[in-house]
Structures are given as structure tokens and as C-alpha cells.
Chain A
Amino acid sequence: MAGTARELAERLKSRFNTALSEPVEYRGEITLVVPDPQRIAEVCSAAKNDCGFDFLVDITGIDNYGEDPRFTIVYHLYGYSHCQALRLKTSVSEEHPELPTVTGVWRAADWHEREAYDMMGIRFMGHPDLRRILMWEGYPDFPLRKDFPVSGRPSNVPEVGFTRTAPLEGGPFVTVAGGKDTIAREPRARKPDTEGPEPKDRPEHKDNSSTSQSATGGAEPIEKKQ
């Protein structure tokens, strides 16, 4: 299966004919463009099985912002038997950033595709586990898109561990479990108007005004001590 990268690319080209562009050489690297993104898995499979490109080096997404199609996906392949590299490229539109997965061809594609999804929002159909990988689950944006600012966008940190907000009303030192005894130990937890918060009262004090009220009230006992 020896041969130069160009010969291997020609062989792949002859097999797919119009489904592949003419091989382009730049700086000694061969690039083939797959015009129809839906055929990428098929082309990759042939590249691996017929041309010996058994090592998937990398999958990269590129955002051609302001152009159509908007996203380009670049596959870097390498063959251990012939030590040649090949680059495959295909493009998907902004409206349908979807193309078939190549996880069936190389299992290495799993994380690479997850990364492309995470950073660019390109969806790989048939991927076994297409989740975010570098950003956290629930992050709303795709940070490597060109319309995403370098300084980032404000986003809420998702509620990871809790399904409801933690009981922090009345200041940072309020605990729920203690009841009266905790309040006796922790005077800053006491509200200004009552001796101690009844457990029943708490839902009323969820809004911001009461939080600030009890926060200011929280300082009072300390002042009295002084």
C-alpha cells in the first residue's frame, strides 16, 4: 500500500469520482474536498480501508463567518504503513450544521467530534455521546465561533449539584438545620424584627429586599456588642 500522498489521494479520487474534488497540494500536503458533507463517513471509511489511513490525527472546525457555507470541518489523516498524511475537508451551512459521524471508522473521532460540537456547534449525526467536552454542560454559547467575543459573554454558572437554590437568605452564615439553637450560637443569623426566624417564615424572605434587609440586620447584633 505504499505510495506518495498524491498517489493515495488519486486512488481515493478515482474511486469516488465527482464526490471528491481534485487533490490540491500546498506546502507538501494534499487536501481533498468532499462537496457533499453527508458522504464524509463513506469517504473516510474508504480512506482507512483502501488507502491505509488508519490514524485519525485530528478533526477541526473552522468558522467562515459571513460566508456560505459557514462551517468547514477538516480531517487530518495519517497512515502508519506508508507514513503519508492526507487532509479531507467538507463544509456545512449555518442552518444545518450537521454531518455524519466518523466514530464508526476511528474511535478516536469520539472526543474530536465532541470538541468540534462544543467549540463550533457542529452536530455529528450518529455520534454515540455528543456532549460538551471542554465547556461545562449547559453552557449556552459556542466559543470558537467568530461572532463570540474574546472577552466572553456573561453566563450563569449552571446549577450542578442542587436542584434548588441553597438557603442563603439572611446572610452567608445562616444555616437551616440548626433551628433555634443555631440562631443562639450564630447571632448574625437573627433577623432585625424577630427574635429568631421561624422555619415557616423563610419562604417569604426569598426576594432580594428581605435579603438585603436581613443582611443589614445581620450587622446589628455585632454593633450592639461593641
Chain B
Amino acid sequence: MAESREIQVRDAGALASIPVSPDALPVPGEESAELRGDRMILNMGPSHPATHGVLRIVLELEGEQIIKASPEVGYLHRGDEKIAENMTYTQFVPYTDRLDYLAPLANNVAYALAVEKAMGIDKDLPERTRYIRVICAELGRIQSHLLGLGSYAMDVGAMTVFLHTFTEREKIYNLCESLTGARFTTSYTRIGGLARDLPPGWTDALSRFCEEVQINFDETETLLSRNRIFMDRTQGVGVISREAAIDYGLSGPNCRGSGIEHDLRKSNPYLVYDQLDFDVPVGSTGDCYDRYILRIEEMRQSVRIIRQCLDRLPGGPINVPDGKIALPPKEHVLTRMEELIHHFINVTQGVNVPAGETYFGHENPKGELGFYINSRGGGTPYRLKIRSPSFTNLSILPHLLPGHMVSDVVAILGSLDFVMGECDR
């Protein structure tokens, strides 16, 4: 049996009932060691609404001030990298939905591009697929930032914004549903193409959405950008210096918020980003407010990109014309011998990725989502490493949190905008 230990708890009521003479009260600034007390260990999470998932932070406090913070991650570890080693490249696409589950379309695109780079077919992608993939990646960005913004505003006390942004997210879900058949787990990309072409009328629905979401951005900005409470909670809080951002390997909006002009869409363009006209917003102070403003601006730029893509969207096939990479058309599979063989090999053995190693980094909403593929030939990766932005973005917490108040933790976590499904993989 367990040994019971007596815990000495101070009886607060009894202490309060003792009459205290005014002389006994300590002079401010000369508190005795007892009154200052020991440092308190506060366990935040793993299921705390502000941690947006299952992040646990052990905070060491002196009064309200944080002395030390040690984040604990891994509660959502599902062994995605191990799983990937035991299935074909195409079979892993649904697992990418569950990385950053707030922007599944963007993950699909990132993964497909990574495998295509390893196969050396990234230059052969049909033009239409490139444009559709850009639209998908940018929709994912808007989707992720809308949630990040809504829940962030709610964390610091502005409930209305949450409802505003979720209205727009709902429209994106509807678009996802008509595009992929699923609202949440899209699994839209395939190696060398896409699962299906755009449904009829989808582009019109998307341009309507682009109109509506612009109004929503303006409304959100009216609610927050000059909101005294919001500004007080976020300005000058959680300042990440340029040096710290580089040293800790931050990426995405968190890195740009600290004034680093780095966007993989600009610096190492993929798909058709080099032909599109868009700006990369950069913060100046690196505080929570900067990261908020930056995300709003990124969404506006995403809408701009989507509009350009819709204007230029070419026709044509959506898959590479090689039956050994993308599945051949169904009517051919049912009537022709060679296509049937290709279909069979493609499904049972997977696409053949030649031996070698490649890394592809994709500018995901949360930062640089990278896939390192080490292939020894055949249809399964020998090693697939997911470089997740949330993981590295969270590693700055022990450096960032000390010195802040407990209530600032909520503001800082919200502004970092991480998602644990991606962090823990």
C-alpha cells in the first residue's frame, strides 16, 4: 500500500482570523523571505484552451513573473515518419492532412512537391496543376490564419473576432468539400497531379469567396487593430529579436515578424510563384502585435494570389502523362492492356523514386514545412523526415517566456500560432 504523507497546508482562514497589529505589517520593499515565498511551479496544459492542442508548459514563477519555462511536447506523437517508411508514397498523402490539420490542402501540396522533386518530375507538372496547387496552398494559408487569428483574439479577450473568422472558415470548408469531397481531410494531391479536376462552378464560388473574405478582413481589423485592450495585451509583448529568430530557426510569419525578409515563395520559388505578383509583409519590432498585423496582410496577399491564379488558370490535363507516375484515366484502364498494367503496378508497388536524397521546403501557413526523403529506390521511402515549423517555432519558448507575466503566456502562445499535430507528428 502507499505510504500516506502528511501535507502541511496553511489554513488561510485561520491565518486571516488572527488580528494583525499595524506594526506587524512588513514595510514595502523589505518583505521577509517568508512573505516573498518560494518560487511556484505552475503546470500549464496539456489540455489548456490557450495551448491550442496538447502542449504542456511547466512555468517557474516568482509572483506573477515567469522565471523559467520548459515546454513539453509529444502528446500527439503518432509516429508519422515511421508509418511513412512502411507504405507507398501515395498512401502517405492522407497522413499529411493530419500534420497541420488547420491547412490540410497546403500540406498535401507540400508533400506532393517533395516527392516529385525526389523523382525529378517537378518540371514536368502540367501548368493547370501548378495553378490549382497554388490556389490550394493559399486557401490553406487563409484557412489557417483565420483560425489562428480568431482563437488568438479570443485568448486575449475578444470573442467577436472568433465568430467573424469562423464564418469565413466555414466557406472555405464548403469550397474544400466541393473540391475534394471532404471538408477537413482533403488528401487532394497525388504524386504527379491531383485527385480530380476542379468541379464545375468552383472558380466562381472561389471568386465570390475572395470578395467576401476581403470585407471580413476589414471588419476584423476594425475590431482589433486599434482596439486599446488588444494593443495593450500584444504590443511590446513577446518580442523576438532578429538574432533570436534566426538562431532558433523560426520560419514563416514568426520569422518575418522579427524583420527577416524570408519567404520561400520568393527566395526559392516553386510552382508558379515566380510569375505571380505579391508582397511579403515584414514586421518591425517582432512583438505579438506585429505577428498579428502580418498575418492579416498575408491573407490579403493570398487573396491577391488566388485572384491572379483564377485569371490565368489554363486548361489542359491535371496529371503528368506518364502512367507509371499518375494513375492512367479509368476508361483506358478498363479497355487497354498497358494502362491496366500501369494502374496495377502504381497501386500495388507505388511510384518509383530513384535512390537518392532530397529536401523540399514549402512555405506553409505556419512556416517552412519540409520533407526530407531518403530513397533507396522503389515505392517506399527509406526515411522520410518531416521538418515541421511548429516544432521549431515552439523551441523558442524557454528563451521567450522568462520575464513575462503569466497572462502574457496566452498572448505569446496565440501569436506564435502553432499546431500540435504538426509539432509532434
How long is the Cα–Cα vector from A156 to B270 in the complex, in angstroms?
46
* Beta-carbon contacts under 8 Å, B352-369 to A: 356-359, 361, 368
Contact at B247–A60, with CB atoms within 8 Å?
A: no
Contact at A55–B358, with CB atoms within 8 Å?
A: no
Contact at A106–B249, with CB atoms within 8 Å?
A: yes
Contact at B370–A150, with CB atoms within 8 Å?
A: no
A54 touches B (CB below 8 Å): yes
A residues less than 8 Å from B395 (CB atoms): 107-108, 110-111
Q: How far is the CB of A196 from chain B (nearest CB, A)?
A: 15
* Beta-carbon contacts under 8 Å, A45-59 to B: 54-58
Contact with B along A49-80 (1 / 0, CB 8 A): 00000111110101100000000001010101
Contact with A along B53-94 (1 / 0, CB 8 A): 000000000000000000001100101011101100000000
Q: How far is the CB of A111 from chain B (nearest CB, A)?
A: 4
Contact at A27–B356, with CB atoms within 8 Å?
A: yes
Q: Is the interface of B mostly helix, strand, loop or mixed?
A: mixed
- Number of contacting residues on B, CB 8 A? 44
How long is the Cα–Cα vector from A115 to B77 in the complex, in angstroms?
12
Contact at B392–A26, with CB atoms within 8 Å?
A: no
Contact at B82–A58, with CB atoms within 8 Å?
A: no
Least CB separation from B356: chain A residue: A26
A206 touches B (CB below 8 Å): yes
Contact of A176 among B4, B77, B372 (CB under 8 A): B4
Contact at B77–A83, with CB atoms within 8 Å?
A: no
* Beta-carbon contacts under 8 Å, A145-195 to B: 148, 150, 162, 164-167, 169, 176-177
Contact with A along B378-414 (1 / 0, CB 8 A): 0000110101000110110001000000000000000
A residues less than 8 Å from B2 (CB atoms): 162, 164-167, 176
B187 touches A (CB below 8 Å): no
How long is the Cα–Cα vector from A203 to B236 in the complex, in angstroms?
59
Q: How far is the CB of B112 from chain A (nearest CB, A)?
A: 16
How long is the Cα–Cα vector from A203 to B2 in the complex, in angstroms?
9
How long is the Cα–Cα vector from A151 to B425 in the complex, in angstroms?
17
Contact of B359 among A83, A87, A203 (CB under 8 A): A87
A85 touches B (CB below 8 Å): yes
Known: A111-B391, A167-B1. A85 touches B359 (CB 8 A): yes
Least CB separation from B391: chain A residue: A111
Least CB separation from B392: chain A residue: A108
Contact at B368–A57, with CB atoms within 8 Å?
A: yes
Least CB separation from B368: chain A residue: A57
A36 touches B (CB below 8 Å): no
Contact at B246–A133, with CB atoms within 8 Å?
A: no
Least CB separation from A74: chain B residue: B372
B residues less than 8 Å from A203 (CB atoms): 1
Contact at A76–B77, with CB atoms within 8 Å?
A: no
Contact of A107 among B1, B248, B361 (CB under 8 A): B248
Q: How far is the CB of A150 from chain B (nearest CB, A)?
A: 5
Q: How far is the CB of A54 from chain B (nearest CB, A)?
A: 5
Contact at A144–B260, with CB atoms within 8 Å?
A: no
Can you list 14 A-B pairs, Cβ within 8 angstroms, ordered by A?
A27-B356, A31-B357, A54-B246, A60-B372, A62-B383, A74-B357, A74-B374, A76-B370, A80-B260, A115-B391, A119-B81, A133-B73, A135-B77, A136-B74
Report A's interface with B, CB cutoff 8 A.
26-27, 29, 31, 54-58, 60, 62-63, 74, 76, 78, 80, 83, 85, 87, 106-108, 110-112, 115, 119, 132-136, 143-144, 148, 150, 162, 164-167, 169, 176-177, 202-203, 206
- A29-B359, A58-B372 are known; give 17 further A-B pairs, CB within 8 A: A57-B249, A57-B370, A62-B374, A63-B383, A76-B372, A80-B246, A110-B395, A133-B74, A134-B424, A134-B425, A135-B77, A143-B79, A150-B85, A166-B2, A167-B1, A169-B1, A203-B1
